Structure 1
Amino acid sequence: MNGSELRIFSGNSNRALAEEICRTINVPLGNATVTAFPDGESFVKINENVRGQDVFIIQSTCPPTNHHLMELVIMIDAARRASAARITAVLPFYGYARQDRKDQPRVPITAKLVANLLVAAGATRILTMDLHSQQIQGFFDIPVDHLYASPVFFAHLAKRKTDRPLVVCSPDVGRMKMASAYTDALGATLAVIAKKRRTPDEVEALTLVGEVAGCDVLIVDDMTETAGTITAAADKLKKSGAMTITAAVSHCILNETAYQRLKAGPIDELITTNSTPVNPRDLPIQVLSIARLLGDAIIRTNSNESVSGLFQIKGF
């Protein structure tokens, strides 16, 4: 396949990102009608010929998650029935990723179910970023290109100058590998917080391992919805003598509780990406663009070039 066969379409979850990706790689955004009937049923029509083409459908499954997931599945099916040669589902944010294991009796593994839906609809490849857990790649029986937002964060953080030592903190044990990669790239030391989740939106930071007194601290996480984990970690760090606290979170699905916690909490700045739409609301929230990252991956996929060679980060 070559660049002339490339077609990019977008659902309604994050059209601004899709438009920016297209501007970045100088490819027009495809013409598709993605709307809903009065009863809420999604309707899709691709308004141009995609027969034999290499189709990329950009859609984050962010809130309203079920609606955007259905849009994506229906768009994939529409492209398949229009005889597209290859269909890549581009999910800057993969929803349902936290339901990736059976940790209670009689619960589903919904991350696997979503993978089955995408494949059944006709996706032949997945392009995504910063999955909640790496094993989700194995839920697919089709190729998955898994990118990291780390290069975007590194470029932003490298511009900062401070005389104080930097500590990268993992807000829970599950993010240790990510935090370790940041320490290698930024020349920092590592800290970790053990947490206890009391309710789905309430977290207690229990124990800090590492020295943060007199240091600037960077908390790294893959996603936040209520900001419970990162604000609980920030409280613990501030009480332990941290000077400034910055959080770098790949996906921000902020609800009202999150905004209230960020406003009242000790986090000096939250850095995130536009993988989902983010409204800073006059808070110190810096939104970095991943359009170039995803655009380069799309071009390389279309050209059958290596994607992992470009975006693999030391330590991952």
Structure 2
Amino acid sequence: MESELKLIGLRTNNALAQKIADEMGIPLMPITITSFADGEIYERVLESVRGDDVYLIAPIAGEVNDSFMEIMIAVDALRRASAYRINLVLPYFGYVRQDRKTKSREPITAKMVSSLIEMNGVARVLAVDLHADQVQGFFDIPVDQLLSAPLLTEYFFGRNLTDDMTVFAPDHAGAGRARQFAAILDTPWGVINDRAVQSDITSPNGIVGDVKGRRAIVVDDIIDTGRRMITSARALKHAGATEVYVVATHGVFSDGSVEALATCEEIAKVIVTDSVEIPTEKQFAKLEIMTVAPLVAEAINRLRNDQDLSGLLRSRHKPDVKI
């Protein structure tokens, strides 16, 4: 007998979980989540999950420590309730930036969090745009990574903005991401020397790539403080870009970033996905939010049917481009 599919969304970005459920045509399972006066979290799944294939949808975002504990407590509840398989959908994997040691006596927190998730009984992880591909190797369970580039490039295809355009990485570490984005848009790409432009946006060593008289896209995986994107936009405009679009998968938008991005005259648009919930008070006129719900919903359906996910990593406009 085939196990029944169940979806559960937690408090962190429950809106996205609901969109995914709507795409799949099934309801979210009811779950009670409350906190005691001291912040201790209590959860209870309100329906039977015995023998079910459960997909728990929640990013490690917002108050990252609380959201991580909500996930861990929910997984424990599902495991003790005899769920057949617990799959964790991470639209955003908080702590993923701590993926290596750069100084003595530093932790590799992404590895620790991965180990805790696995040890708690998660059978599979489905993630959206991990900060670094090697994070998949931090798990000894299957990890599938969805890439947002085919989705985010739709913004530019849909508005006929692909002519005279160059895609830029805001630093050398993001060159691979910029190259993938440019391959889909069939445009040149370049790299911004972040150290040079931070000290002087007019530095002749600040930009590698053709920018004068062209639209520019700055692509990253995360916008947190926004400082690097703002500096990049100012350097590109000074170098002759006609417009600058700032693009990222995860709009974390820490305190102060929204005002800085909204008032930066050099930025035409900020384009992100809803992998992290962006409350109304953090939305602004330049912000465009694209939903990952159809992408995640289709991935869940394919995983359920043991189908290949590679088709989800290709743009419908450029199906021959493999990223």
Q: Structure 2 CA distance, aligned partners of 1:163 and 1:154?
A: 9
SS in 2 for 1:256: coil
SS in 2 for 1:287: strand
- The answer to whether the 8 A contact 2:98-2:108 is kept is yes
1:227 is displaced (CA, Å) by 0.4
Partner of 1:89: 88
1:164 is displaced (CA, Å) by 5.0
- The answer to whether the 8 A contact 1:204-1:232 is kept is no
Deviation readout 1:134-165 (Å, 9 max, x if unpaired): 10000001000100111211222211225850
Partner of 1:177: 176
SS in 2 for 1:184: helix
Deviation readout 1:87-145 (Å, 9 max, x if unpaired): 10100000001100010111100000110110111101000000111100000010001
Structure scoring higher RCO (CA < 8 A, sep ≥ 6) equals 1
Q: Structure 1 CA distance, aligned partners of 2:161 and 2:4?
A: 48
Partner of 1:278: 278
Q: Structure 1 CA distance, aligned partners of 2:60 and 2:238?
A: 37
1:304 is displaced (CA, Å) by 1.9
Q: Structure 1 CA distance, aligned partners of 2:262 and 2:45?
A: 43
Q: In structure 2, what residue type is equivalent to 1:88? A: N
Gaps in structure 1 of 5+ consecutive residues: none
Q: In structure 2, what residue type is equivalent to 1:268? A: A
1:197 is displaced (CA, Å) by 9.8
Partner of 2:237: 238
Partner of 2:293: 291
2:303 to 294, 301, 304: 301
- The answer to whether the 8 A contact 1:74-1:121 is kept is no
Query: Aligned ranges for residues 155-234 of structure 1 at < 5 Å?
Result: 155-162=154-161, 165-196=164-195, 207-234=206-233
Partner of 2:99: 100
Q: Structure 2 CA distance, aligned partners of 1:204 and 1:288?
A: 33
Q: In structure 1, what residue type is equivalent to 2:292? A: I
Q: In structure 2, what residue type is equivalent to 1:287? A: I
Gaps in structure 2 of 5+ consecutive residues: 316-320
SS in 2 for 1:20: helix
1:194 is displaced (CA, Å) by 1.2
1:203 is displaced (CA, Å) by 8.2
How much is the aligned-residue C-alpha RMSD, in angstroms? 1.9
Q: In structure 2, what residue type is equivalent to 1:109? A: I
Q: In structure 1, what residue type is equivalent to 2:285? A: L
Q: Structure 1 CA distance, aligned partners of 2:292 and 2:162?
A: 29
Q: Structure 2 CA distance, aligned partners of 1:203 and 1:282?
A: 28
Alignment CA distance shift 1:180-1:256 (3 Å): same
Q: Structure 1 CA distance, aligned partners of 2:72 and 2:90?
A: 12
1:204 is displaced (CA, Å) by 7.0
Partner of 2:318: none
SS in 1 for 2:194: strand
Alignment CA distance shift 1:31-1:95 (3 Å): same
Report the TM-score, using the length of structure 2 for normalisation. 0.92
SS in 2 for 1:277: coil
Q: Structure 2 CA distance, aligned partners of 1:162 and 1:276?
A: 26
Report the TM-score, using the length of structure 1 for normalisation. 0.94
Partner of 2:56: 57
Percent identity over the alignment is 35
Q: Structure 2 CA distance, aligned partners of 1:306 and 1:315?
A: 14
1:6 is displaced (CA, Å) by 0.2
Deviation readout 1:65-88 (Å, 9 max, x if unpaired): 000000001111111111111110
Q: Between Structure 1 and Structure 2, how many residues are aligned? A: 312
Deviation readout 1:197-251 (Å, 9 max, x if unpaired): 99xxx88766100120110111111001100111111111010000001111000
Q: Does 1:135 align with 2:134?
A: yes
Q: Structure 1 CA distance, aligned partners of 2:34 and 2:304?
A: 28
Q: Structure 2 CA distance, aligned partners of 1:141 and 1:297?
A: 20
